[in-house]
Every structure is written in C-alpha cells, then in structure tokens.
C-alpha cells in the first residue's frame, strides 16, 4: 500500500521535482550536459553481453566500490560494469579512475518514467547497491524485472534505523528484494535483518579495501618546495563551521610555531572561494588553489579546493584532522590518512564510521578532540613532539593492516552470482 502511494506521489510531484532539479542545476549540483541521464535517457550505448550494475550515492560510495569493480573485471573478463551515482563530483572522479570495461552514468531520479527508461536501456543482469541509498521505485522496478540484487557495505545508522522503524512495511519490502546483504558490522547486520533483509552476512567495511589515495608526483614536489621546512598541519574533508575552527587554531598556535601553515581541504570544493573570503576578513593571508594562488612566506592558510587531490595533502602534512567530526555530520574515513603516515585527530561526531573509530581508539591510533580548544592543544602538542607523532602513525597503520581481507570476503560472497552470469 505504502509503495503504491509513494509511486503515485512521485508522479503527482513531477512539477515540484522539475523545480527542485532546476534549482540544483542552477547551483551547479547537476551536470547540464548530461542532465537527461537523470531523466532516464542514456548518454551512451549499452555494451554487448552481460552487464553488472553498481550503484552508489556519491563520492565515498563510488570510491569504495573501485577495488571491487577492479576485482570483478579481472576475474570475469566477459563482463562489463555500469556505475551510477547522483553527484557531479562523483561523475568527474569516475571519469578519471574507472578501469576499462566500466562506464558511468548518472542515476535516474526516482520517478517511474525515469526508472523505466533507465532499466529499458541498460537491462542489467545483476545489481549491486553500495551502502544504504534505498530509492523505492528504482529498487521495486529492478526487482520486478527479475534482476538479482545484492547490498554491499550495508549500513544502518541510528537515525536511519529509527526513521525506517516508522515505515517498516516499506523498508521490509525493499530489503526483502535483496538476494544477499553484506553488512559492515554485526550491529548493521542485526538492524538490516530486523527491518526485513532475509540473507545477511557480516563481512566488514569495503572502504578498508581501498588503495592509498593517489597524488601527482610533480604537484607534490612543487608544494613541498613551496612549503620548505615550515611547520604545517592539515584540516581534511572539512564541513561548514570547521574552517573557522581551523583558522582559530592557526592563530592560537602561530606564536609558538612561527611560519605555521594550515592546509584546509573542504569536503565540497565549490565552497573554497567563500571560505577564503571569510578567512581574509578576519585578517589571515589565504592562498586558494583553484585560483592558482602560490604559497608565499606570508601565507597563513592554504585552501586546497580541488577535486581528487586529498592524497596529495595527506602526504604533505603528517598531522591531519579529519573533518565532518566537530560538527554533527558523522565524520569521514580515518583509514585514508592512516595509509599515508599521518598522526590523526578527529572530533566526537564519527557515527558514520563508528566501527573504524572504535578500532582506532582500541589501538590508540587517533586522538579524539571535543572542540576547537582541544584541537589547538592537540595539534600544538604534536607539532612539538615527533615521537608521539610517530607512535600515532604506527598505531594507525596497525589498524589499517588489520582491516585487510574484506575485499576477499566480499568477492567470495559475490562469486556465485557472477558465475551464473557466464552460464
């Protein structure tokens, strides 16, 4: 009943959806050249043969899927893979990083006509959902066509669990359509089963299988030359409010650490100019990467508002605060700086990576800070204590090494479904 009501509402809301998408396009959140893909109109031809469809919401899910995509294509040379995401930034990254026999399209909006056009064109033979973006029309129509569906890296946060408990009939039908759900943790598995998943296995977090973030060697050498021996630290994947906190830390620390450079990598690069303007207004000298600004001896803050270069900046600064954690966002992936020899700090809001965060805490491989004052104290302490930096780096690497093997477990669970495609 609820599914039919939702379907009807998505049809009736067509004018409102059009206004919403138009607004997103005006804000640069939709790709004008490929916008028809969002309406279910394919931008490229379907390759011949069997096609595995991998869907993730955005950058994090798409990047997490890359090792799995590579493994599938390597072990099954007869297959092609279609990757769908919903954001402009993820599409750009996929254009750069997808291997041969894998292609990207924007996911259709969850309106019946868009979903129908998408499925009519692509005719997937197997669908793999990454994490927890459950679009009712897309899931129901895929299931109705007899396409086997598998949930990989399944996650169910406290907030999502409480919300879905109010709509148990809807989520039970959606999760019941998955032939297999591979959960990140036992807690996620329990919640998925409680909400209606019938076949659930705990295999670990796919994000732990990712390779170290890449970096352009020439760009790395140029920035190292520009920074020289100046002390520096990194505020990575920051969200609104955290850049101001980082700037306050910089001001507090500069008297004890002359020449200090604070590098800020905003989670959403398009915010870079706005952040720069705000920090300049409080008297800081800011260099903006997107504007081609050079680091000079007067630079206080370097804002790296570029796409896909986080690995570059984790290599430049061995003290890294991981953002989205001093504000109630849920945090970002601590394994990324761990793989690149960083002493890691994060705030208390790490719900999206709770299992990872617990593993780091158990090994004393990261420092949790409660607020801006604690962050300044922790960064200042690490700037003056090389031995503690090295201890944190080694502990973080221990955590990262312990997470190895998840890709093998996921690939083994998927193999029976992939083998059937070759029959």
pLDDT string in tens for the chain (423-residue length):
567 777 777 877 777 877 888 888 888 889 999 999 999 999 999 999 999 999 998 888 998 899 999 999 999 999 999 999 999 989 999 999 999 999 999 999 999 999 999 999 999 999 999 997 889 999 999 999 999 999 999 999 888 899 999 888 889 999 999 999 999 999 999 999 999 999 999 999 998 888 899 999 999 999 999 999 999 999 999 999 999 999 999 999 999 999 999 999 999 999 999 999 999 999 999 999 999 999 999 999 999 999 889 999 999 999 999 999 999 999 999 999 999 999 999 999 999 888 889 999 999 999 999 999 999 999 999 999 999 999 999 999 999 988 778 999 999 999 999 999 976
Residue/partner pairs of 364-371 with CB below 8 Å, 24 or more apart: 364/392, 364/395, 365/338, 365/392, 365/395, 365/396, 365/398, 365/399, 366/334, 366/392, 366/396, 367/343, 367/392, 369/321, 369/326, 369/345, 371/245, 371/326, 371/347
Residue 25 confidence (pLDDT): 83
Residue-level pLDDT at 317: 97
Q: In the numeric block, which tokens belong to residue 303?
A: 């804002």
Q: Is there a contact between 272 and 288 (Cβ–Cβ < 8 Å)? A: yes
**Domains of the chain, residue spans:** 2-205+405-421, 217-402
Burial of 164 (0-12, 13-18, 19+ CB in 10 A): buried
pLDDT value of residue 1: 58
For residues 321 and 236, the answer to whether their CB atoms sit within 8 Å is: yes
> pLDDT tens for residues 114-170?
999 999 999 999 999 999 788 999 999 999 999 999 999 999 988 889 999 988 888
pLDDT score recorded for residue 278: 97
Per the DSSP assignment, residues forming a β-bridge with 233 are 262
Nearest partner of 420 among 200, 150, 82, 67, judged by Cα: 150
What is the pLDDT, as a whole number, of residue 84? 96
Q: Which of 30, 33, 45, 61 is catalytic?
A: 61
Judging by DSSP bridges, how do beta strands 200-202 and 232-238 pair with one another?
Answer: unpaired
Q: How far apart are CA 100 and CA 105, in angstroms?
A: 15
DSSP type of residue 324 = S
Q: Could you tell me how many residues make up the chain?
A: 423
Task: Please give the Cα distance from 135 to 85 (Å, whole number).
Answer: 13
From residue 217, alpha-carbon distances to 57, 220, 221, 235, 291 in Å are 30, 5, 6, 21, 21
E strand or H helix at 63, and its extent?
helix 59-75
pLDDT at res. 342 = 98
Which residue is associated with the tokens 């607004």?
Answer: 23
**Phi, psi dihedrals of residue 115, rounded to the nearest 5°:** -65, -45
Same fold, 2-205+405-421 and 217-402: yes
CB-based contacts of 155: which residues, under 8 Å, 6+ apart? 131, 132, 183, 184, 188, 352
Helix and strand numbers, DSSP H then E, in the chain = 19, 14
In words, the CATH class of domain 2-205+405-421 is alpha beta
Give the burial class of 362: count Cβ atoms within 10 A of its Cβ; 0-12 exposed, 13-18 middle, 19 or more buried.
exposed
Q: Check if 131 is active-site.
A: no
Phi, psi of 90 (to 5 degrees): -65, -35
Element containing residue 81 per DSSP (H, E): strand 80-85
Instruction: Specify the CATH superfamily of domain 217-402.
Output: Glycogen Phosphorylase B; (3.40.50.2000)
Q: Residue 364: left if φ>0, alpha if ψ -120 to 50, beta else—which one? A: left
Instruction: List strand residue ranges (DSSP E) for 226-375, in order.
Output: 232-238, 261-266, 286-288, 301-303, 319-322, 343-346, 367-368
Residues 6+ apart with CB under 8 A from 330: 157, 324, 349, 350, 351, 352, 353
Distance CA 399, CA 336 (A): 11
* pLDDT for the residue numbered 57: 85
So what's the pLDDT on residue 195? 94
């Amino acid at each position: 009943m609820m599914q039919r009501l939702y379907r009807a509402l998505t049809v009736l809301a067509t004018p409102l959806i059009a206004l919403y998408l138009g607004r997103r396009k005006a804000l640069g959140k939709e790709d004008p050249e490929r916008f028809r893909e969002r309406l279910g109109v394919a931008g490229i031809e379907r390759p011949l043969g069997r096609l595995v469809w991998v869907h993730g919401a955005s950058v994090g899910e798409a990047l997490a899927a890359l090792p799995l995509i590579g493994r599938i294509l390597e072990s099954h040379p007869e297959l092609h893979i279609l990757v769908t995401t919903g954001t402009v930034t993820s599409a750009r990254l996929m254009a750069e990083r997808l291997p041969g026999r894998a292609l990207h399209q924007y996911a259709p909006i969850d309106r019946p006509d868009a979903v129908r056009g998408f499925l009519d064109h692509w005719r997937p033979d197997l669908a793999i959902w990454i994490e927890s973006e459950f679009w009712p029309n897309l899931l129901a129509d895929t299931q109705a066509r007899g396409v086997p569906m598998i949930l990989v890296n399944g996650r169910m946060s406290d907030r999502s669990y409480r919300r879905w408990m109010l709509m148990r009939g809807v989520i039970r039908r959606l999760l019941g359509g998955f032939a297999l759900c591979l959960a990140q943790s036992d807690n996620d598995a329990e919640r998925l089963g409680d909400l209606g998943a019938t076949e659930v296995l705990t295999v670990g977090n796919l994000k732990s299988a990712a390779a170290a973030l890449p970096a352009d060697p020439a760009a790395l050498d140029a920035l190292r030359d520009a920074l020289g021996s100046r002390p520096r630290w990194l505020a990575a994947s920051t969200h609104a409010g955290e850049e101001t906190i980082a700037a306050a830390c910089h001001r507090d620390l500069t008297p004890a650490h002359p020449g200090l450079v604070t590098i800020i990598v905003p989670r959403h690069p398009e915010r870079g100019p706005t952040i720069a303007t705000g920090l300049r207004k409080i008297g800081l000298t800011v260099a903006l990467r997107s504007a081609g600004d050079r680091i000079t001896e007067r630079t206080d803050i370097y804002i790296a508002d570029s796409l896909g270069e986080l690995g570059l900046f984790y290599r430049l600064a061995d003290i890294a605060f991981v953002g989205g954690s001093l504000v109630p966002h849920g945090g970002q992936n601590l394994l990324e700086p761990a793989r690149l020899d960083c002493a890691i700090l994060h705030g208390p809001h790490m719900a999206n990576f709770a299992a990872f965060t617990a593993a780091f805490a158990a090994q004393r491989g990261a420092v949790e800070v409660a607020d801006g004052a604690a962050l300044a104290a922790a960064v200042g302490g690490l700037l003056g204590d090389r031995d503690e930096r090295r201890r944190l780096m080694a502990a973080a690497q221990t955590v990262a090494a312990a997470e190895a093997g998840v890709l093998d477990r996921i690939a083994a669970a998927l193999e029976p479904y992939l083998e059937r495609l070759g029959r």
